Structure 1
Amino acid sequence: MEIFQLKTQPEGIERVSSFVNENFICIGYSELDDLTNKNKDEIREEIREKYKYEGSRLGNHLGNVNAFVNTMKEEDIVLITENDWVHIGRVGGYEYDCINNEWGMYHRRYVKWIGKAPKHELNEYVRELLRNRSILTKFKHPTDIAELDKVLTNGDISSNRNSIDYNIVEKALNILVSALDSDNEEIRVKAAIGLLQHNKFN
């Protein structure tokens, strides 16, 4: 398991509320096509072609995108900052959806939010990670050094592992959202109840 910090302004738009309330994260780079199963070299060429970046600028953006698509794995931990709080979540797999999502939110990962912690209670190693200016940064120390269990207000890192397939959860939620527009009133009501129950327990 690895720990990452992620900035919450893909394409320059603040999305922290969406990330927390809708259980996902994203990185922007909406000019890029679906990166599923693409390796680092293929992603480099995609960025060079679509954004015309070269040199160190290309390297920096490649680092962000490749980390989100390939380095980050399911069950890894992501940290995002909201004012004086840090939200702590466990990520699902990479997904690409340019049909159902707004500009800037095509490259996504489902997140199961474990809890949150006051920023000032995090140790210096984690605060150093959060100060990093890159869009996405991996914690360079062993995971246990972060001591996140000590500061979580609800939940803990070790006991919140969930064997459910996050991609299936995301697809199920999309089906419920689509069902809200059904011509059948009973289907609409059941979809609404399902979504409300999901939000209640997440």
Structure 2
Amino acid sequence: MNKNYFLLRPNPSQHNRMNEFLEESIIAVGWSDSGNLKQCNLKEKYDGMAHTNLNIFVNEMKEGDIVIIPNGDNIYFAQITSDYFYNDNIPLEDDYRNQRKVKFLDVKQRKDMPMEMRSILKTRHTSARLNKYSELIEKILKNEEIEDNSNKFETITLPLRPGKESVTITIPRDLTKQEAERLSNIIKTLYFKD
């Protein structure tokens, strides 16, 4: 059985529940007023990102999968240990009844994460699939050496209008003259007024 990797934010209904996650060894999402989400047609009831987030949590996650939970300066790594369940012992107004049990594996400082992982964590979605980063996540969990490519790029800030706006771009440090010329030609087309 293949392991999947997900990101999940600890903020059901915009309320941080990281303490509850840690104390109860759970992860959770909101939408509690809908009842048990296994008993409803998510596609009919929700659309857009709500459907995507709920479908990931209810139907895609499974026992053994890894969940990364960013919370402030800390990044928590947990392994799912149960199927989805609806916990009606939680007051409805607390809105985190849609749950899964987890085993917390590790916590890391955001500043100690490789640049690639910090970039991944910038997504604003409630949940996200991270399978394409499985090797990186496994290396982090095993405390293996990770090549940080952040020093292969240069970030340059240039004034656009004196005393006002500036433009920041990040380019590879090994940028060739031909690539720079191509970039210059692209930038020449980035205007909205004559």
Question: TM-score, normalized by length of structure 2?
Answer: 0.65
The structure with the greater share of residues assigned to helix is 1
Contact 1:24 1:110 in 2 (8 A): yes
Residues in 1 aligned to 2:71 and 2:50: alpha-carbon distance in whole angstroms: 24
Taking only the aligned residue pairs, the percentage that are identical comes to 25
Where 1:87 maps in the other structure, the secondary structure is: strand
Aligned residue pairs total 138
Return the offset for 1:25. 0.8
Where 1:31 maps in the other structure, the secondary structure is: helix
1:106 aligns with 2:97: yes
Residues in 1 aligned to 2:143 and 2:24: alpha-carbon distance in whole angstroms: 23
The structure with the greater share of residues assigned to strand is 2
Of the three residues 144, 148, 160, the one matched with 2:140 is 148
Unpaired stretches in structure 1, ≥5 consecutive residues: 48-57, 153-202
Contact 2:106 2:141 in 1 (8 A): no
Contact 1:5 1:129 in 2 (8 A): no
Of the three residues 76, 94, 109, the one matched with 2:84 is 94
Distance 1:77 1:35, change over 3 A: same
Return the offset for 1:122. 1.9
Of the three residues 50, 70, 76, the one matched with 2:65 is 76
2:16 partner letter = E
Counting only pairs closer than 5 Å after superposition, residues 159-178 of structure 1 correspond to structure 2 as none
Of the three residues 26, 29, 46, the one matched with 1:27 is 29
Greater Rg over alpha carbons, structure: 2
Large movers: runs of 4+ above 3 Å: none
Residues in 2 aligned to 1:12 and 1:102: alpha-carbon distance in whole angstroms: 16
